[in-house]
Amino acid sequence: MLYEIKCSWCGQSMGTKECEPTEFTLKLKKMGLPIISHGICPKCREKALEDANISREGGNHE
């Protein structure tokens, strides 16, 4: 079953991922609703790290 992956911060589509169906996702599909999972896109991740003053390697910028 294909899940659509969206950025939780900006809503941008991040593609799809094949996953095993669950009772919940089968119900969603039967109701005609999209099956969506969430993550964070690279742009929003960078912004979140900058806002938290954390470098890519971990730790503070200071």
Global pTM? 0.71
Pairing of strands 2-7, 13-18: antiparallel
Q: List strands edge to edge, sheet with 13-18.
A: 13-18, 2-7, 36-39
- Give me the mean pLDDT over the 7-22 stretch: 95
Q: Could you give the dihedral angle defined by the CA atoms of residues 52, 54, 59 and 61, in that order, rounded to the nearest 10 degrees?
A: -110
Higher pLDDT, 46 or 57: 46
- Is 60 in a helix, a strand, or coil? strand
pLDDT for the residue 11? 96
Residue 13 has pLDDT above 90, yes or no: yes
Cα 30 from Cα 42, distance rounded (Å)? 33
Which CATH architecture fits 2-51?
Answer: 2-Layer Sandwich (3.30)
Higher pLDDT, 53 or 23: 23
pLDDT 10s digits, 18-29: 989 999 999 999
Give the domain ranges of the chain. Answer: 2-51
CA–CA–CA angle 10, 36, 30 (5° rounding): 145
